[in-house]
């Protein structure tokens, strides 16, 4: 997708900064731009695309959608509506709906979360009751808490949506299934009879995504609107279960993988802004006889920012690696082979939380590193934070997903102890669980992170078993141990992030020029050393690190910051964000931050006149004691 082409779209870029638009104007402006964007770039994910092309398209979509400073009301159409049709529709349903969706003849969203339930999918209350007499499903929202609540684009944009509803046949529940539901008339866009729609209101971010609510009053849809790839309802109401009820959760796994690459992109944007600003901003005078230095020369500033560069690389490498796994498991599922789905689910349940936790924290650190100007909306750091922090919650709240990963880790460990072989990304759990002497090499530190994970998993399993021996139910034991279950999942996730980053870089290093290889491997070294220092407690407990080793690690870390400093600006320039996509007064390539700050300030409607009308209406009478 050619960004030049995107940016050449007349009217795509805002004359009036979004900050000065009303809530309603922001939405209307975003629709205007989304239509322009799609008309020019009508890029779709072709089923015949190679893994690499699909991944790049997703990644490019993310990058390009960044133009909107916030996200587009079309976001769910691309990121969930289309993938659900692809993953949950029969061949016939895909044939029909994919054509309409790809051509933007219809705009869709994905309506799963309800006012009363987001995490607990099996608790969703929207009903889809099959009527064999008319061969229809009756959709109904029995109580307020069953209203769909949150779906992007649902309020005023989408005219179709995937509704995840509880299927009832002859009074019996058959679990949650996906239904294709038209919610608005294709000509008038009016909500169809029996359908209540609206917007959920202003949020911390995502204020142009048009998140909405949806309630059904006995709304009927034909039988062929249930997406029936994984489970079917025959005309007479016979229910045919799928091979695995969790296949209906497939879109969420896809988006969790997408989010890891999205975090790489978000973090790259934020650190480009903060680091470029740090290269032009001069402040203080540590040496009386020298000019004020660039704030980028403060080692504390390097500590705040360089890890963000390395983390973006790490998330990107892990995301590309995870996409390969996702696509290969998807192909296996298509041929009925399910045995690698649990591992993909567990990986996504580790990497989505860790990438969003780290990216959110590091984007905020990029903002904080820019002083007062980082607090300006025109810097586009606050908005980037707002978008990233949402991913902590959506697509599976992070705690919940880490506990899901813990389920798999506990099962793997208990199986291992009983002699069952471990496989894939959990195979290392069968390895040595002690570090006889600290090995400060990159591979040695990564091995130590694996030992930390082994020890945390084995110890939390022991806690669980002790609780159950003491008479606690498995559920109560699980809840009591849950803090350390999430810690075990995080440790596993860290080990995966580090080892995949290193191995993926090693694969690429062979084809890099020696100078580039040196710089990129310095970032790997920085990433591994940073996390060893961040998790020094675990290293002391499980990896035989001594205070002398820690001292050595600290010195190595400082030297790495100094080594990276000369290439720091080049490293963020290499993310190759155009100014229009960075959309930031502080991050523009030309470094004219002060002029841009002033230019943006003058766009404030308040600066249109020297005296605001409230002076004569309120202030003057007030100051003259006449109010």
Ligand X SMILES: Cc1cc2nc3c(=O)[nH]c(=O)nc-3n(C[C@H](O)[C@H](O)[C@H](O)COP(=O)(O)OP(=O)(O)OC[C@H]3O[C@@H](n4cnc5c(N)ncnc54)[C@H](O)[C@@H]3O)c2cc1C
Q: Which residues are catalytic, by number?
A: 395
Minimum distance between the CB of residue 232 and ligand X, rounded to whole angstroms?
Answer: 24
Give the separation between CA 148 and CA 146, rounded to whole angstroms. Answer: 6
- Interface residue with ligand X among 90, 245, 340, 399 (CB under 6 A) is 399
For residues 62 and 267, which CB has a smaller minimum distance to ligand LAWDYWNQ in the complex? 62
For residues 486 and 522, which CB has a smaller minimum distance to ligand X in the complex? 486
Minimum distance between the CB of residue 11 and ligand LAWDYWNQ, rounded to whole angstroms?
Answer: 14
- Report how far apart, in Å, the C-alpha atoms of 222 and of each of 111, 132, 147, 168 are: 18, 11, 21, 15
Minimum distance between the CB of residue 37 and ligand X, rounded to whole angstroms?
Answer: 19
CB 251 within 8 A of CB 87: yes
Q: Which does 399 bind (CB under 5 to 8 A by kind): ligand X, ligand LAWDYWNQ, none?
A: ligand X
Burial degree of 485 (CB within 10 A; 0-12, 13-18, 19+): buried
The answer to whether 113 is a known ligand-binding residue is yes
Secondary structure class of 624 (helix, strand, coil): coil
- Interface residue with ligand X among 27, 59, 97, 150 (CB under 6 A) is 150
Q: Which does 404 bind (CB under 5 to 8 A by kind): ligand X, ligand LAWDYWNQ, none?
A: ligand LAWDYWNQ
For residues 256 and 456, which CB has a smaller minimum distance to ligand X in the complex? 256
Secondary structure class of 148 (helix, strand, coil): strand
Minimum distance between the CB of residue 244 and ligand LAWDYWNQ, rounded to whole angstroms?
Answer: 7
For residues 76 and 322, which CB has a smaller minimum distance to ligand X in the complex? 76
- Interface residue with ligand X among 59, 110, 130, 530 (CB under 6 A) is 110
Return the DSSP state at 338. Answer: -
User: What are the E-state strand segments in 56-153?
Assistant: 108-111, 127-131, 136-140, 148-149
Asked if 400 touches ligand X (CB under 6 A), the answer is yes
Secondary structure class of 226 (helix, strand, coil): strand
For residues 251 and 529, which CB has a smaller minimum distance to ligand X in the complex? 251
Binding site for ligand LAWDYWNQ (CB under 6 A): 34, 37, 61-62, 65, 72, 74-75, 78-79, 110, 112-113, 119-122, 152, 246, 249, 252-253, 255, 258-259, 262, 341-342, 345, 394-396, 400, 404, 407
Q: Is the dihedral of CA 234, 238, 240, 241 positive or negative?
A: positive
For residues 3 and 397, which CB has a smaller minimum distance to ligand X in the complex? 397
Give the separation between CA 361 and CA 358, rounded to whole angstroms. Answer: 5
Any idea what the Cα angle at residue 623 is, between residues 619 and 627, rounded to 5°? 75
For residues 340 and 479, which CB has a smaller minimum distance to ligand X in the complex? 479
- Interface residue with ligand X among 306, 323, 394, 449 (CB under 6 A) is 394
With both helix axes pointing from N to C terminus, report the angle between 299-334 and 482-509 in degrees, rounded to the nearest 10. 90
CB 211 within 8 A of CB 71: no
Q: How many residues does the chain have?
A: 627
The answer to whether 126 is a known ligand-binding residue is no
CB 438 within 8 A of CB 544: yes
Binding residues among 197-226 for ligand X as defined by CB under 6 A? 206, 211
Q: Which does 206 bind (CB under 5 to 8 A by kind): ligand X, ligand LAWDYWNQ, none?
A: ligand X
Residue 427, sorted as left (phi over 0), alpha (psi -120 to 50) or beta, turns out to be alpha
Q: Which does 122 bind (CB under 5 to 8 A by kind): ligand X, ligand LAWDYWNQ, none?
A: ligand LAWDYWNQ
Give the separation between CA 497 and CA 318, rounded to whole angstroms. Answer: 6
**Residue with CB nearest ligand X?**
118
Return the DSSP state at 191. Answer: B
Asked if 145 touches ligand X (CB under 6 A), the answer is no
Minimum distance between the CB of residue 233 and ligand X, rounded to whole angstroms?
Answer: 22
The strand pairing partners of 129, in sequence order, are 138, 168
Residue 297 CB partners (closer than 8 Å, separation 6+):
565
Residues that bind ligand X (CB under 6 A): 76, 110-113, 118-119, 150-152, 206, 211, 390, 393-394, 397, 399-400, 403
Which residues belong to the annotated binding site? 113, 152
Which residues belong to the annotated binding site for FAD? 113, 152
């Amino acid at each position: 997708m050619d960004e030049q082409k995107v940016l050449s779209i007349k009217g795509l870029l805002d004359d009036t900064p979004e900050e000065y638009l009303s809530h309603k104007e922001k939405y209307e402006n975003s629709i205007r731009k989304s239509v322009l964007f799609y008309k020019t770039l009508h890029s779709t994910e072709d089923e015949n695309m190679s893994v690499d092309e699909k991944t790049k398209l997703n990644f490019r979509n993310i990058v390009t959608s960044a133009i909107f400073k916030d996200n587009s009301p079309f976001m769910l159409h691309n990121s969930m509506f289309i993938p659900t049709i692809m993953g949950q529709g029969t061949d016939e349903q895909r044939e029909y709906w994919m054509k309409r969706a790809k051509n933007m003849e219809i705009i869709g969203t994905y309506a799963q979360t309800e006012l009363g339930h987001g995490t607990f999918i099996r608790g969703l209350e929207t009903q889809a009751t099959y009527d064999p007499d008319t061969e229809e499903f009756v959709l109904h929202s029995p109580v307020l808490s069953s209203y769909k609540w949150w779906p992007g684009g649902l309020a005023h944009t989408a005219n179709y949506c995937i509704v995840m509803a509880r299927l009832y046949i002859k009074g019996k529940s058959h679990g949650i299934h996906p239904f294709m539901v038209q919610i608005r008339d294709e000509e008038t866009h009016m909500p169809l009879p029996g359908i209540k729609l609206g917007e959920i209101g202003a949020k911390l971010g995502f204020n142009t995504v048009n998140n909405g609510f949806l309630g059904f009053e006995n709304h009927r849809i034909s039988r062929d609107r249930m997406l029936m790839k994984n489970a079917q309802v025959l005309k007479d109401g016979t229910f045919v279960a799928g091979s695995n009820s969790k296949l209906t959760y497939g879109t969420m796994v896809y988006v969790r993988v997408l989010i890891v690459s999205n975090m790489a992109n978000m973090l790259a944007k934020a650190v480009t802004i903060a680091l470029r600003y740090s290269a032009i901003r001069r402040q203080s005078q540590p040496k009386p006889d020298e000019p004020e230095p660039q704030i980028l020369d403060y080692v504390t500033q390097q500590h705040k920012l360089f890890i963000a560069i390395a983390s973006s690389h790490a998330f990107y490498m892990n995301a590309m690696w995870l996409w390969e796994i996702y696509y290969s498991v998807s192909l296996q599922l298509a041929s009925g082979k399910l045995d690698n789905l649990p591992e993909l689910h567990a990986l996504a349940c580790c990497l989505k939380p860790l990438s969003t936790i780290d990216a959110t924290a590091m984007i905020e650190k990029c903002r904080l590193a820019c002083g007062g100007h980082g607090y300006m909306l025109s810097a586009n750091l606050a908005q980037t934070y707002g978008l990233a922090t949402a991913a902590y919650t959506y697509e599976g709240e992070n705690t919940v997903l880490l506990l899901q990963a813990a389920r798999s880790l506990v099962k793997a460990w208990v199986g291992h102890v009983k002699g069952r072989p471990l496989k894939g990304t959990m195979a290392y759990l069968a390895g040595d669980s002690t570090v006889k002497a600290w090995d400060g090499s990159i591979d040695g530190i990564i091995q130590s992170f694996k030992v930390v994970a082994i020890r945390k998993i084995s110890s939390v399993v022991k806690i669980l078993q002790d609780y159950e021996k003491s008479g606690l139910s498995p559920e109560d034991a699980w809840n009591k141990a849950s803090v350390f279950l999430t810690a075990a999942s995080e440790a596993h996730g860290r080990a995966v992030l580090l080892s995949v980053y290193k191995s993926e870089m090693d694969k690429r290093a062979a084809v890099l020029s020696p100078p580039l290889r040196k710089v990129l491997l310095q970032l790997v070294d920085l990433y591994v050393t940073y996390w060893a220092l961040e998790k020094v407690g675990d290293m002391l407990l499980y990896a035989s690190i001594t205070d002398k080793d820690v001292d050595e690690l600290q010195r190595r870390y400082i030297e790495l910051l100094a080594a990276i400093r000369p290439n720091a600006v080049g490293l963020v320039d290499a993310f190759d964000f155009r100014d229009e996509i960075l959309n930031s007064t502080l991050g523009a390539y030309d470094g004219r931050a002060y002029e841009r700050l002033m230019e943006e300030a003058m766009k404030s409607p308040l600066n249109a006149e020297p005296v605001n009308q409230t002076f004569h209406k309120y202030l003057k009478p007030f100051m003259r004691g006449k109010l």
